[in-house]
Amino acid sequence: MPEQEKNFNVRDKIDMSRIKRRERTDKIFKTIFLIAGILSALMIILIFIFVGGKGIKPFLPGYEFGQQNLGKFLTGMTWRSDQNPPVYGAAFIVVNTLISAFLASVVSFPISVLTALFIVKIAPKKLRGFFTTVVELLAAIPSVVYGVFAAGKITKMVNSMAQHFGLTTHGGLSQLTVSILLAIMIFPTITSMAINAIAAVDKNLELGSLALGASKTQTNFKVVLSAAKSGIFAGLILGLGRAFGEATAVSMVAGNSMTGPTWNLFDITRTLTSTMLSGLKETSGLDYDIRFSVGIVLMIIVLITNFSIQLIKRSIGGVSHE
Amino acid sequence: MSKHEAFQERISKNRGMTAKRRSIDGVRNFFTYLSAALAVFVLGSIFVFVFQRGAKTLSWDLITEDFHTVKYMVNFTEQEAGDFAVPDDLKEGEYFSTKYGFGVMEGTDAAKDTVILLTRKAEDSPLHSGVNAVAGDTKDKPQDVPTHVNVVKIAYKNQEGETKSAGQVRHHTPQEFVETLDQESTGIVSMNYQSLGGGIRGSIRATLMLIGLTLLISLPIGIFAAIYLHEIAPKNGFTNFIRTSIEMLNGVPSIVFGLMGMAIFFPITAAFGATTPNILLGAITMAVVLLPVTIRQTEEALITVPDKLRMGSLSLGATQTQTIFKVVLPNALPGILTSILLSVSRIIGESAALIYTMGTFVVDNPHITGRATTLAVQIWSVMSGEQPNFELATAISILVLIIVLVLNVSIKLITRQLNKKWKE
Amino acid sequence: MEQTKQEIKSQGRVPLAADGVMFDIRDLNLYYGDFHALKDISMEILSQKVTAFIGPSGCGKSTLLRCLNRMNDLVENCRIEGNIKLGKKDIYDDKAIDVVHLRTEVGMVFQNPNPFPMSIYDNVVYGLRCQGIKDKALLDHVVETSLKQAALWDEVKDDLAKNGTKLSGGQQQRLCIARAIALQPSVILMDEPTSALDPIATGKIEELMESLKENYTIIIVTHSMNQAARISDNTAFFYLGELIEYNETGKVFSNPDNPRTEAYITGRFG
């Protein structure tokens, strides 16, 4: 076709039926995007329904492997899946889970906050990047690697500590080992939240404090920390949540006691997560389904923890812009 | 006391206060140094421990080898004893058979049992003349005995012409084994040997399969959901509800995701023919674990795309979908890449959710609908046996640590690059 | 070049309602939530003319401009009453008109140059490709004629693969104009197209408008009195969401009817 005869009018090529088709495609894709959004939101609800449903089943009449007593499950102080019939009492497990997470945060919290303060306010600029990287690397280490470290190093440390007091341990597997491990594992969580909170404190507050004759250090400890406390405590709660839910590493050093609660730091313990992982072989039966019941208990504890973030934020206040 | 004296006293008191304050400040600062140093110390200890314990075990063989031992049996076509010179570079504890020209020493296999390890073969050793003795298609096909295997048994002829056995079956030490052969035998008949096992080839393959499958599921859903939230959703209660629900996923412990996988998605994988926990189930579960991360990272990438580009596209008669695919997404690509790297790093590090959904049994030839372990789960698996295998666990940990750290550093670099780009 | 003009003259596609009226705006009211942004606007915008919207910031001139290609649809809480006709069709009647089609008919150039981060060539044919036009010869032709009309061709013809964002600010804005006219629209809306540019680039764009008005109906929002006076045929003055005065440019600038108009153009407020 000779060049001059070609129709170069763009408007002739724009036709309405095509536009209609494209708008249909547009609608279809928007629907797909919407479905993806709803699907993502649905997951948390599905988790509650399905995990909850499966976990409640053993306590309902007509349960195929023999109905369990919910009261005994919630108040029992013995967990013997090896007996016949097995005994499942989770109360002491809850207590031990709380103890180890609490101990971990008692150790980890001050160290985390001081480290965060050091990184944001005290360290020279060049070191700041280095220490931030250290915290980030600690956060990136997979929990199973922490587990190997705990099983290889912390157990030995705890064991020799026990011998020092004239006590013995089960090869270092103990409540204390779990707590130290958890303290290390929640350190990066609390620290990074504290770093954000401290960095968000209004500079004018500090200037105000300095202008009143307070030293840099006094300002850091009195004004900055108290202004950032809402964010810092939110970090603590987040850390606690992680401590409750941490599974693989903890199950490597807990020792899985059969009765409790364990008050002796050098004695073996059992957490909700270590219970869920121990001796996992079959994928059906009472011993399998009861893990879902433990899962519900864990979910409830984590949920309460998460909701308390909101409460703490409201009641503590503080001036950080988080 | 005169006014002047009182004033003097106050000043001197004040000086004392300043000194006291300085020392308190010093102590406080010291504690912050100490805390930060402690963090470095812990990180250092973990690295030192893992690398010290695992470095010796980490080798190319570990990466290419199967976890489970495989048994072989060969018959020899050349059976006569020869006369071989003892090599000069024989290591301590290594014994050389002068009749058959091979060397052995003590070693351990995957189960940490002591074995007789075949270390070397002379060039014209009869060991080169093996033919497969196991029934099947390859029976009687030539099969050279490789080194670095466990010598279970060598059947030999003694002076009386009887067939006898030497090797692990008779609880020989390497020295006894070589001496027995060299002193009593006139020729060798057959040999049973085993691969050492303890490798991680299967877990590496399963990890790669899991990464691929997970991204295949999580990326489209996560990216599309982010597009919905950022580009399309109206600002109303429903959108807020969706946002909150997705954020709540962040707080769910990963072991609960494992339960979720078995409770919700197992039937889906069963439709594909799965009867046990399997890789597909692990992938679906991990996709849910990663949803909040993918959505948040993608949304952050979408935020960085300037609105004027969207306006420009729409004003040219593009539909919103065209605008999203032609203008918005290509510009959000680096951010999406970050979310992929983050996802890969999370998948490699995850263990609790996968123990439930993929099982803990190490498989050498993983299949999508069958049990398998990722590297992280294999660490758990070898640690939770009767005899925790620290050597193997730390060796795999080195690999996992290196991969995860490289990914994290890349993410940092990309993010920094991006921030620079948008500041311009 | 001759052929190009020919083509564009043959574009009288939009069947005009009355003689020479491109947009007929009647009793238009626009609300952002509770805020009443445009109040009872009625005006006729003439075909093949340059119409300037002037007024102080926040007077509603840009808002009105965005009503004409329905870009306000994207703003949440935006409510529109009254009607706007493009030719004979009500552009807010979804049965009569298609919004995507409307935007191919009514092009837009924004305050800040917004070329896509892709090649110059891809920028120009973006709108066409969105319409599913794949004919290579046609695309090549359109790139050349559009860039020529936008007075950019000579500067970029050797490197059409260059990324559009690597051009200078003035070049970027001309690329955006080329991109808009590639679709051969009837109307080009310009929202302060030179406010982000230096004087030299501004001069070039103004020259360009001069040549474009032969073929297109141009509506320009501007902050510059001089610019409005120089390039427009008709001028509309807006104040606090109301249309205060709308007349031939010469009349508005030399002898305005309304004292507020006079106050504004003589620089007493704004």
- ipTM, two decimals, is 0.90
Average of per-residue pLDDT values in chain B: 88
Q: Pick from C227, C43, C195, C270: which is nearest to C262 by CA?
A: C270
Question: Has residue B189 been placed in a domain?
Answer: yes
B189 and B210 both lie in a single domain? no
Q: What is the model's pLDDT at position C8?
A: 40
pLDDT above 60 for A2: no
Mean pLDDT is lowest, of A10-24, B224-238, B307-321, C194-208, for A10-24
Q: Closest Cα of chain B to C243: distance in Å?
A: 25
Is 80 exceeded by the pLDDT of residue C6? no
**The predicted structure's pLDDT at residue A3:** 47
| pLDDT cut 70: percent of chain B above it | 95
Sheet containing strand C21-32, strands side by side: C35-46, C21-32, C78-86, C89-90
What CATH code is carried by the domain that includes residue B143? Answer: 2.30.42
Look at B130-139, B227-236, B254-263 and tell me which has the smallest mean pLDDT. Answer: B130-139
**Cα separation, B124 vs B102, whole angstroms:** 10
Give the residue numbers spanning the domain of B218: 201-423
Of the two residues C208 and B419, the one the predictor is more confident about is C208
- At which of B194, B226, B249 does a domain end? B194
* Chain A residues close to B356, C-beta within 8 Å: 280
Same-domain status, B299 and B349: yes
pTM for this entry: 0.86
Nearest CA in chain B to C109: B312
B187 and B240 part of one domain: no
Helices (H) and strands (E) in chain B, counts: 14, 8
pLDDT at res. B140: 84
Task: Tell me which of A315 and B54 has the higher pLDDT.
Answer: B54
Q: Is the pLDDT of residue B387 over 90?
A: no
Mean pLDDT within B36-55: 93
Domain end (from B149, B171, B194)? B194
Which pLDDT score is estimated for B422? 57
Q: Summarize the confidence of residues C126-130 as an average pLDDT.
A: 91
Which of C231, C242, C240, C236 has the alpha carbon at shortest distance from C265? C236
Nearest to A145 among B50, B257, B291 (CB): B50
HEC per residue, chain C: CHHHHHHHHCCCCCCCCCCCEEEEEEEEEEEECCEEEEEEEEEEEECCCEEEEECCCCCCHHHHHHHHCCHHHHCCCEEEEEEEEECCEECCCCCCCCHHHHHHHEEEECCCCCCCCCEHHHHHHHHHHHCCCCCHHHHHHHHHHHHHHCCCHHHHCCCCCCEHHHCCHHHHHHHHHHHHHCCCCCEEEEECCCCCCCHHHHHHHHHHHHHHCCCCEEEEECCCHHHHHHHCCEEEEEECCEEEEEEEHHHHHHCCCCHHHHHHHCCCCC
Residue B107: per-residue pLDDT: 83
Whole-Å CA distances, B156 to B184, B190, B194, C98: 9, 7, 18, 92
Q: pLDDT at residue B106 above 60?
A: yes
Provide the pLDDT for residue A67: 86
Same domain, B273 and B372: yes
In this complex, do A11 and C137 lie within 8 Å of one another by their Cβ atoms?
Answer: no
Residue A144: both structure tokens together:
């199973």
Is the domain of B181 the same as that of B209? Answer: no
Average pLDDT over residues B256-263: 93
- Per-residue confidence band for C179, with pLDDT thresholds at 50, 70 and 90: very high
How many Cα neighbours within 13 Å face the side chain of C182? 32
pLDDT at C7: 41
* Interface contact A151-B245, CB threshold 8 A: no
Query: Which residues are within 8 A (CB) of A27 and not within 5 positions of it... i.e. 6 or more apart?
Result: none
8 A C-beta contact, residue C66 and residue C186: no
List CB contacts (< 8 A) between B259 and chain A. 51, 54, 276, 291-292, 295
- At C9, is the pLDDT very low, low, confident or very high (cuts 50, 70, 90)? very low
Cβ atoms of B143 and B74 within 8 Å: the answer is yes
**Between B3 and A266, residue with greater pLDDT:** A266
Q: What's the rounded mean pLDDT across residues B194-220?
A: 91
Tell me whether residues B315 and C101 touch, CB distance under 8 A.
Answer: no
Question: Predicted confidence band at A319 (pLDDT cuts at 50, 70, 90)?
Answer: very low
Q: Does some domain include residue B64? A: no
Q: What CATH number matches the domain at A70-315, 3.30.230.10, 1.10.3720.10, 3.40.630.30, 1.10.10.60?
A: 1.10.3720.10
| Residue C269 in tokens | 């407020």
Tokens of B404: 């995860």
Query: Region A220-232: what's the mean pLDDT?
Result: 87
CB-CB under 8 Å, A45 with B245: yes
pLDDT grade for B12, boundaries at 50, 70 and 90: low
Residue B29 lies in a domain: no
In this prediction, residue A99 carries a pLDDT of 93
Query: Testing the interface with C: which of B231, B238, B315 to mutate, by most C Cβ within 10 A?
Result: B315
Residue of B nearest to A47 (CA): B260
Residues of B in contact with A215 (CB under 8 A): 21-22, 25
**B28 in any annotated domain:** no
Q: What is the mean pLDDT of residues B399-416?
A: 90
Tell me if A16 and C131 make a contact (CB, 8 A cut-off): no
* Highest mean pLDDT out of B21-25, B33-37, B84-88: B33-37
Lowest mean pLDDT segment, chosen from A115-124, B11-20, C66-75, C169-178: B11-20
- Cβ pair C51, C58 in contact under 8 A: no
Candidate from B234, B312, B314 with C-beta closest to C116: B312
- Assess whether B338 and B238 both reside in one domain: yes
Query: Crossing angle for the helix pair A155-164 and A175-199, nearest 10 degrees?
Result: 120
Pairing of strands C50-54, C234-239: parallel
Confidence at residue A321, expressed as pLDDT on a 0 to 100 scale = 43
pLDDT recorded at residue A298: 94
Indicate if B387 and B407 belong to the same structural domain.
Answer: yes
CB-based burial label for A174 (10 Å; 0-12, 13-18, 19+): buried
Q: Which of C80, C44, C88 is nearest to C60 (CA)?
A: C80
> With bands split at pLDDT 50, 70 and 90, how would you rate the model's confidence at A5?
low
Shortest CA gap A119–chain B (Å): 8
Question: B213 and B176, same structural domain?
Answer: no
DSSP conformational letter for B223: H
Neighbours of chain A (3+ CB pairs under 8 A): B, C
C154 or B20, greater pLDDT: C154
B382: in domain:
yes
Interface A-C: count of C-beta contacts within 8 A: 47
Mean pLDDT value across chain A: 87
B261 and B213 in a common domain: yes
C6: nearest CA partner in chain A: A9
Average pLDDT over residues B340-346: 94
**Looking at chain C, which residue has its C-alpha nearest residue B308?**
C114
Total beta-carbon pairs less than 8 A apart between chain A and chain B: 253
Residues B405 and B371 in one domain: yes
B135 CB-near residues (< 8 Å, 6+ apart)? none
Give pLDDT tens digits for A260-282: 788 888 888 999 999 998 877 77
Looking at the 3D structure of chain B, how many domains does it have? 2
In a domain, residue B321? The reply is yes
Query: Which of B140, B171, B194 delimits the end of a domain?
Result: B194
Q: Which residues of A touch C132 (CB under 8 A)?
A: 18, 22
pLDDT the model gives residue B20: 81
pLDDT band at B312 (very low <50, low <70, confident <90, very high): very high
Cβ of C130 within 8 Å of Cβ of B319? The answer is yes
Inside any domain, residue B19: no
pLDDT for res A30: 94
Q: In Å, how far from its chain's centre is CA B374?
A: 6
Q: With CB atoms and an 8 Å threshold, state whether B316 touches C112.
A: no
Q: How confident is the model at residue B16 (pLDDT cuts 50, 70, 90)?
A: low
User: Are B164 and B106 within one domain?
Assistant: yes
pLDDT single digits (tens) B153-191: 888 888 888 888 888 888 888 888 888 888 888 888 888
Half-sphere exposure of A91 (CA within 13 A, CB side): 9
The confidence band for B33, taking pLDDT boundaries of 50, 70 and 90, is: very high
Claim to verify: residue B167 and residue B288 sit in the same structural domain: no
A6 touches chain C (CB under 8 A): yes
Q: Which residues contact B211 (CB under 8 A, 6 or more apart)?
A: B344, B347, B348
Is the pLDDT confidence value at A200 over 80?
Answer: yes
pLDDT above 50 (res A322): no
Domain harbouring B286, CATH code: 1.10.3720.10
What was the pLDDT predicted at B36? 93
Question: Does residue B7 lie within any of the structural domains?
Answer: no
- Cα nearest neighbour of C13 on chain A: A11
- Residue A119 to residue B376, Cβ atoms within 8 A: no
Give the pLDDT confidence score for residue A51 in this predicted structure: 92
Tell me the residues of chain A between 11 and 50 that have a Cβ less than 8 Å away from chain C: 11, 13-14, 16, 18-20, 22-23
Q: Are B309 and B328 in contact (CB under 8 A)?
A: yes
Residue of chain A nearest B246, judged by CA positions: A41
d(CA B107, CA B104): 9
